[in-house]
Structure 1
Amino acid sequence: MKTKRKWISKAAVSLGLLTMFGGVALSAGSSAYAAKPAQNISGNPVSDNTSDRSITIWKYEIHSASELGGRGDGESLDPGTAPDLTGKKVMQDVNFEIIRVIPNTGVDLTDPLIQKETTHYTIDPTFTRQTGHTAADGSLKFDVGSGKTADGIYLVREITDSNGKYTYTDPSTGETGLEINKPMDPFFVWLPQTKRDDTSKLIYDVHVHPKNIVTNTDLDKTVEGGKGYSIKAGQDFQWEATTALPDGLYSEIDKEMTITNWLDPADGTIKDLVIDSTMLPYDLHANYFKITDDLNSSLLLKDIVVQVTDDDGATWSDLSIGADYKVELNDTAVNAHPITNMTAGDAKKVMVSLTNDGMKKVTNDSDTHIRVVYKTTVEQDFNGKITNKYDIDYLLPGQDPVNDTSDEPEYYNGGFDIKKTDKAGADLSGAIFHIALTEEDAEAKKFLASDGNVYTLNDDGTTTPALPQTPVVVKLLTSTSNASGEARFDGLKLDWFTDSNGNGKQEPSIPSEATWDEEDIKKDYWVVETTSPEGYELLKTPKKVTVTLTTHNNTDPELTVVNEPKTKLPFTGGTGTTLLIIIAIGAITIGTASIAIDKKRRQA
């Protein structure tokens, strides 16, 4: 058996804005502080030749641009003051490097996003490049030496791991290899650094806090809540595309800041978004958040519903089409429900995108997950397997686009063939068959209907209970052999998992209820011949047929029913009866002739 894996992608994304704060000692994976670390801040404006020079990086998570704060000053912060790291979670195993650079003549080095190697600076060959990664408390200290020989401008860059990816470890859970969508922007640091609020002093051990917005995009595609599903074809069922809402879809900015590498939605260009005091407060939205599901063309789409939850799915609230989200069906905007296409074979690509108001709503309501419910069915004779997955795409301000794909739950139906012949192998038409779920049902005339339920067929042709006629007419499933002696049943439900707790519903969280391998997906049905061809005996005994995902395609029939001819019983009437009939006819004939002769004699 196989377990369907739920795709989970936890991505850290940087807003590209470096904020430098003084360092504080953190316990692993938390925001618990030790005492404020002492720093070597000298009142002598002249660089000494004895102090150690160092750069300490503190790497941690934030959840929206509103948490970025202003640019730091390289000094330590007192715990509990604003801004500080209260409630933040550190990031372990983030890789960094530092190199020392020499500015070209007449160049002022301030921003390595703008100023480039060779054009504006060269690498100092007298300094050996240093690399390292953050510890369990999110810190990484680069000791660059002591004395004036260590003075200069250093370039700090986030670098990839041994696999060429930007990754980190969550020390609170132990999860490793988590993805950083976009590394922090590189930055220059002077050692020693002039104190920002007292330019007569120097800082020999600078502390910086580059940070990343961390989003946990947990994609979970289900069908009727599980990873597999089967029901009589033609009945309604639904697929659920459930996604953890990423942080940073909306932020209310109340302080000046600059968002680098921002995609301007007005003209599609990449630029810096400078939010100054005249723009505050400023509503900062993600460029887009889209859920796209290219539904299998065999599915018939009846409608979709978009919902959110803030309590891990205990309750779901509907969002409003147009106001909170927009829908495109096959790249055409749809502005009202139902969102439907009931033609098998047609493309059914559904894209749901949050509006700016929708992003603000889900953020302000503290919603944690969004789901799109696709209400579907298939044609009544559908056989086979349908798999379905969905994609999410979003772009947070200043980030690279995020794209993720869910796993693929599956829907199953099967069918089988019956061959009806006489003992000589000649095809027989006109035989009518019903099917039952068990041998006991077959013997009790309890047969399967088009709604997937079982009904008792009474001797007078009625059923118990009566077959529903609204809103959809329900009929007992029957098949009649044609001139070639062929009959078949299609679109039958199959068993695809072990119902270990007996509640009739697959629960992916229970390992024993994992979806079976395809070769194990099957179900037994019992065939009853309820009407035989003229001149032949009924089958009389129910026959079991095992239906799988492939039986409907098999060349040979799954069941061959050979009928015995009816026997020739003796005539029920005797010769005395025949004689009486002859005498009666003779008497009538004689009487009629006598009347005619008498009539002629009277006329003469």
Structure 2
Amino acid sequence: MKKKLSSIVSLLFILCTVVVGGAQIVKAENSAIRPDIGGTGSLTIHKHWAEDTSQIGDEGNGQEQTVSNPPVESVAFNIYELTPVDDAPTTPPSEKDGAVYSLNTAKTELMITFGGKTHKYTMGGKQTGTTNATGEYKFENLEGFYYVEEDLANSNPKVNGKDVTIATPAKPFVVSVPMTNPTGDGWFKDVHVYPKNQGMTPEKTVNNGGKNSVNIGDRLDFGIKVAIPSDIGEDEYKVFNIHDTLDEALTYVGDTVKVYVYKFESGAWQKKEMTTGFTGNFAEGAHPISVVFTEEGRKELAQLMSVDGGSYTHVGIEFGATVNEKVLEKPNYTVKNKGDIEWNNTPGDETIKTPTPETETNTGDIVIDKKDQAGADLSGAEFQIADSDADAKDGNKYIKVKVDDAGLITDLVYPGDADYDSADALNWVVRPHAASGDLGKKGDTFYASKFQGLQTHSGTDDEKVAMDYYVVETKTPNGYNLLDEPAKVTFADEDKTTHIVSKEIVNSKGFKLPNTGSLGMILLTVIGIILIGLAIVMFIPKKRRS
């Protein structure tokens, strides 16, 4: 079976709304002499897409309908005319009435078992057609009963010009040309059928307050959602599982996996938790995350799709993971992650894994480029960082860090966090242009060459709001002045690819005052005393001098 991957539709299952055998497929016994029939007729295939079972319409009646679902082009269909053998009924029994169809390997005979008997029908030469851009193909000059099958091996299905995947063909059916009309009092010769493919587009989301950029150590909440296959409860469906192989830069938060069914109602997604019908390892360190639906679970999903069961259309998992220090080893400080849907509804065929879309989450760096007034690199300065101007000016509300034994940052700790004053939360001090020996953990302080693992923006990709930070010079090189105000650094100025923003800070030379007690000061003092004495002598009256 040809299985073609698509960028927008990853996994499909089939629900047919077609005119099948038994749905008014009574053939006119002598149509050639009936003026209201007028000779041979036609069969038009209309191929449309349905995202889930809620978009599947009622059963067709053979007449043309208006369908809003998008058409599917380049799908092949084969039809074979049926001829009864021996005492087989002229009108083939319908699957709708409980008949069971089976073909021989050569597709020359159709066996129909019904009412405890098996009837044989020979299959005439195959006629083939492929749907056009409007999802249609018309077979003409037909008269009789026809077996119709979807031929995926010779299909290249597309929706809106993009390749899609059809997991299994629409269920074969038998149709009559011409047919009696819906009211049962006449005939029509141009028959229309609408076999729909139910699209199952796996979704992968990451939600951290609407942000896809985080600080190192922050938690992300992931979700995978996929439409429930329409044939999930049938015996042929042997495998249906959901996996997420976490990237090494993500640490799963143990026992957070939840399984839900979803339905879209009152303008929003409603969900209900499933607690049975699946197995999996959800403990701390689980890798990958896996939810394996049992046979009972698959049947429960089928029941949940029904009106009585709640009309749920999708199933999925939600779980938490934190961004760990390995994100700093990723290109552009970006961790990518995706899951897959594993399924098999074709006995004897291979199990397929259809990937979800890929999520991306990043952190960023702030590099302090310390210079002197001549533009040369300047070492010896120290900086700390805050996420607000008020905290920066406070002097005691800087961002702190936690580090592991290898000296890698594992978490950022903000003022107000429960563990901000704990021994594990180290002062975070950056020393630009410092030697490696002057960096690392020293007492209650972690010295680094730059600020790493920072959130670069809030919001989504479509509505990004750049994050602002404030760096404070807490120590200046000997002979230079400290900055008198925090320096604002914004990720609006970042390199959008690398998520690195560089801030140049220039220090100026200080002004030196004379040293108290120096020789120069003593001389000045002696001279001053002499001058004062001379002035006194000059103004004493002569009489008194004599």
Q: Normalized against structure 1, the TM-score is what? A: 0.54
CA contact (8 A) 1:14 1:183 kept: no
The equivalent residue for 1:269 is none
Q: Does 1:221 align with 2:204?
A: yes
**Offset at residue 288 of structure 1 (A):** 0.8
Residues 411 and 90 (structure 1), Cα distance of their counterparts in 2 relative to 1, 3 Å cut: closer
Q: Paired residue for 2:470?
A: 526
Post-superposition CA distance 1:177-208 (Å, at most 9, x none): 87543334768999999xxxxxxxxxx99999
After superposition, where does 1:263-278 map in structure 2 within 5 Å? Answer: none
Alpha-carbon distance, 1:100 to partner: 6.6
| CA deviation profile, 1:115-146 (whole Å, cap 9, x unmatched) | 3579x99986xxx957476999999664337x
Aligned counterpart, 1:148 = none
Partner of 1:543: 487
Q: Is the aligned partner of 1:20 residue 2:21? A: yes
Structure 2 distance, partners of 1:42, 1:285, is: 41
Over 3 Å counting, the alpha-carbon distance change for 1:317 and 1:117 in structure 2 is: closer
Native 8 Å contact 1:52 1:205 kept in 2: no
Question: What is the DSSP-based 3-state SS (H/G/I as helix, E as strand, rest coil) of the residue aligned with 2:156?
Answer: coil
Deviation at 1:419, TM superposition (A): 4.8
Amino acid at match of 1:437: D
Residue 206 of structure 2 contacts residue 359 of structure 2 at CA under 8 Å; is this kept in 1? Answer: yes
Are positions 1:233 and 2:216 aligned together?
Answer: yes
Q: Is the 8 A contact 1:53 1:192 kept in 2?
A: yes
Query: In structure 1, what is the equivalent of residue 242 of structure 2?
Result: 291
Q: Distance in 2 between matches of 1:134 and 1:177?
A: 14
Q: Deviations over 1:563-587 (max 9, x none)?
A: 6457354317998xxxxxxxxxxxx
Correspondence for 2:230 among 241, 247, 258 = 247
Contact 1:184 1:210 survives alignment (8 Å): no
Deviation at 1:224, TM superposition (A): 0.9
Q: Is the 8 A contact 1:158 1:186 kept in 2?
A: yes
Query: 1:144 — aligned with what?
Result: 142
The amino acid of 1:144's aligned partner reads: L
1:306 equivalent in structure 2: 258
Is residue 20–residue 175 contact of structure 2 (8 Å, CA) maintained in 1?
Answer: no
Quick one: structure 1 residues 211 and 114, their matched pair in 2 at CA, closer, same or farther if it must change by over 3 Å? farther
Of the candidates 361, 375, 395, which is equivalent to residue 411 of structure 1? 361
Distance of 1:246 and 1:472 partners within structure 2 = 53
Contact persistence 1:539–1:563 (CA under 8 A): no
Question: 2-side partners of 1:404 and 1:243: how far apart?
Answer: 11
Q: Aligned residue for 1:491?
A: 453
3-state SS of 2:296 partner: helix
For residues 534-559 of structure 1, what are the alpha-carbon distances to aligned partners after superposition, in whole Å with 9 as ceiling and x for unaligned?
A: 665423232233443679898x9643
Residue 289 (structure 2) aligned to one of 350, 355, 366: 350
Q: Cα offset for 1:350?
A: 3.0
Q: How does 1:564-575 map to 2 (within 5 A)?
A: 564=509, 567-571=512-516
Question: Partner amino acid for 2:301?
Answer: V
- Once the 2 structures are TM-superposed, how far is the Cα of residue 297 of structure 1 from its aligned partner? 1.6
Q: 1:414 touches 1:550 (CA, 8 Å); kept in 2?
A: no
Structure 1: stretches of 5+ with no match in the other structure: 25-37, 45-49, 68-75, 80-84, 104-109, 146-150, 194-203, 252-283, 328-333, 342-347, 456-464, 497-504, 507-512, 576-604
Distance 1:242 1:211, change over 3 A: same
> Percentage identity across aligned positions?
20
Q: Residues 13 and 182 of structure 1 are in contact (CA less than 8 Å); yes or no, is this contact kept in structure 2?
A: yes
Distance 1:114 1:426 in 2: 80
Aligned to 2:533: none
Shift of the 373–156 alpha-carbon distance from structure 1 to 2, 3 Å rule, reads closer
Structure-2 change in CA distance of 1:475 and 1:311 (3 Å): farther
- After TM superposition, give the deviation of residue 410 of structure 1 in Å: 1.4
Match for 2:28: what amino acid? Answer: N
Give deviations 1:507-540, integer Å, cap 9, x for gaps.
xxxxxx6266xxxx96443211123456654232
2-structure distance, mates of 1:324, 1:567:
79
CA contact (8 A) 1:434 1:478 kept: yes
Shift of 1:77: 8.3
The alignment covers a number of residue pairs equal to 434
Q: Would the alpha carbon gap of residues 53 and 448 (structure 1) be closer, same or farther in structure 2, given more than 3 Å must change?
A: same
Q: Which residue is equivalent to 2:300?
A: 361
Q: For residues 38-437 of structure 1, what are the structure 2 equivalents within 5 Å? A: 40-41=28-29, 52-54=39-41, 56=43, 96-98=77-79, 113-116=104-107, 131=129, 142-144=140-142, 156-159=148-151, 164-166=155-157, 180-184=166-170, 214-224=197-207, 229-251=212-234, 284=235, 286-303=237-254, 304-312=256-264, 314-320=269-275, 323-327=276-280, 334=281, 337-340=282-285, 348-366=287-305, 367-379=312-324, 382-383=327-328, 384-396=333-345, 403-420=353-370, 428-429=379-380, 431-437=381-387
Contact map agreement 1:449 1:477 (CA 8 A) in 2: yes
CA contact (8 A) 2:480 2:510 kept: yes
- Residues 43 and 142 of structure 2 are in contact (CA less than 8 Å); yes or no, is this contact kept in structure 1? no
SS in 2 for 1:232: coil
SS of the residue 1:362 aligns to = helix
Q: Residue type of the partner of 1:40?
A: A
Give the TM-score of the pair, scaled to structure 2: 0.59
Match of 1:361, SS?
A: helix
RMSD: 5.9
* 1:240-297 deviation line (CA, Å, top 9, x unaligned): 222222222115xxxxxxxxxxxxxxxxxxxxxxxxxxxxxxxx36211122222222
Q: How does 1:422-461 map to 2 (within 5 A)?
A: 428-429=379-380, 431-439=381-389, 441-445=391-395, 447-450=398-401, 455=415
Opposite residue 385 of structure 1, the aligned amino acid is T
Is the 1:526–1:542 contact (alpha carbons within 8 Å) kept by the matching residues of 2? yes
Tell me how far apart the structure 2 counterparts of residues 470 and 537 of structure 1 sit (CA, whole Å).
30
CA distance in structure 2 between the aligned counterparts of 1:155 and 1:12, rounded to whole angstroms: 21
Distance 1:6 1:227 in 2: 24
Contact 1:240–1:372 (CA under 8 A) maintained in structure 2: yes
- TM-aligned CA deviation for residue 55 of structure 1: 6.8
Give the CA deviation at 1:154: 6.5
1:277 is matched with: none
- 213-222 or 475-484: which moved more? 475-484
Deviation track 1:332-372 (CA, whole Å, cap 9, x = no partner) reads xx3xx42426xxxxxx4333221222222333234332232
State the distance in 1 between where 2:133 and 2:467 align: 55
Asked if structure 2 preserves the Cα contact closer than 8 Å seen for 1:436 and 1:527, the reply is: yes
Map 1:472-487; keep pairs closer than 5 Å: 474=425, 477-480=428-431, 482-483=434-435, 487=449
Q: Secondary structure at the match of 1:221?
A: strand
Report the Cα distance in structure 1 between the residues aligned to 2:61 and 2:373, rounded to whole angstroms: 95
Query: Could you tell me whether the CA contact under 8 Å between 2:15 and 2:170 is conserved in 1?
Result: yes
CA contact (8 A) 1:56 1:207 kept: yes
Q: Cα distance, 1:414 vs. partner? A: 0.8
Tell me which amino acid in the other structure corresponds to 2:222. Answer: W
C-alpha distance 57-116 of structure 1, shift in aligned 2 (>3 A)? same
How far apart, in 2, do the equivalents of 1:185 and 1:552 lie?
51
Match of residue 92 from structure 2: none
Q: State the distance in 2 between where 1:562 and 1:242 align.
A: 54
Q: What's the CA shift string for 1:79-99, capped at 9, x where partnerless?
A: 9xxxxx9xxx99887754546
Instruction: Give the secondary structure class of the aligned counterpart of 1:181.
Output: coil
